[in-house]
Amino acid sequence: MKEKILEMEEYAQEHNVPIIEKKSIAFIMKFIKENNIKNILEIGSAIGYSTILMASAKDDVYVTTIERDETRYMECLKNVKACGMDKKINVVYQDALDVNLSNDMQFDLIFIDAAKGQYTKFFEKFKYFLSDRGFIITDNINFHGYVGNSDKLENGNLKSLVKKIEGYIEFLKTNEEFDTEFFNIGDGLSISVRKNEE
Ligand code: SAH
Ligand code: MG
């Protein structure tokens, strides 16, 4: 599997696929072990790099992952098979905002790593599928260091994207239902958990 992972890193580099940074995935894998996470929902599989590494964190981890791009979805399926992980990973080819999960699905961890401009929408849609003490982890919360500096940006598209991530951070900070911690690891990670009802 190690070899396959290296191959995926090379493929990502060559094809400009924004896979997670090594420090971030190492942090998440440790988090999965320490919190005894079993069922994971991932939004944004790309070629299955973070998917496969999360699924390999321990024996009893199962991942449902959603990808809307056909080429990446096919590549992801291929990689999951090559790593012998078909039984642990379910790859869904659809736009996450159109996916209808069955009501009885519950995840201990939801990993948001798809279109950065839609983070708030993903959070609001999928929080209903979180188990009682489940976590929502979001990647690229610093977005290459641009977050917090959007006013200085001149490129319109980039500026509006960064503004959306800033909006998501504000949404998390002022959220009445969830508490969020922010980590300066890799491209920035956040971990949200339901507030205690006392
Ligand atoms: N988690 C991967 C990287 C994901 S990159 C890793 O770290 O290895 C983000 C991916 O999200 C892209 O492949 C993109 O096609 C996908 N994506 C973006 N918006 C989406 C949406 N609304 N639904 C499903 N996939 C989406
Ligand atoms: Mg990412």
> Which CATH superfamily groups domain 2-194?
Vaccinia Virus protein VP39 (3.40.50.150)
At residue 115, the pLDDT reads 96
At residue 172, the pLDDT reads 98
* DSSP string for 129-168: GEEEEEEEEEE-SSTTTTTT-GGG---HHHHHHHHHHHHH
CA–centroid distance, 23 to ligand 2, in Å, is 12
Q: pLDDT category, 29, cuts 50, 70, 90? A: very high
Decide whether any atom of ligand 1 lies within 6 Å of the 69 Cβ: yes
Q: Where in the chain are the domains?
A: 2-194
Q: Is the pLDDT of residue 159 over 80?
A: yes
At residue 196, the pLDDT reads 83
154 phi/psi in degrees, rounded to 5 = -105, -30
Neighbours of ion ligand 2 (CB under 5 A): 20, 113, 139-140
At residue 198, the pLDDT reads 61
At residue 94, the pLDDT reads 98
At residue 24, the pLDDT reads 98
At residue 144, the pLDDT reads 87
Q: What is the pLDDT of residues 62-108, one digit of tens each?
A: 999 999 999 999 999 999 999 999 999 999 999 999 999 998 999 99
State in Å, rounded, how far the first CA of the chain is from the last one: 45
Which of 5, 65, 69, 76 has the most ligand 1 atoms within 8 A of CB, as the residue to mutate? Answer: 69
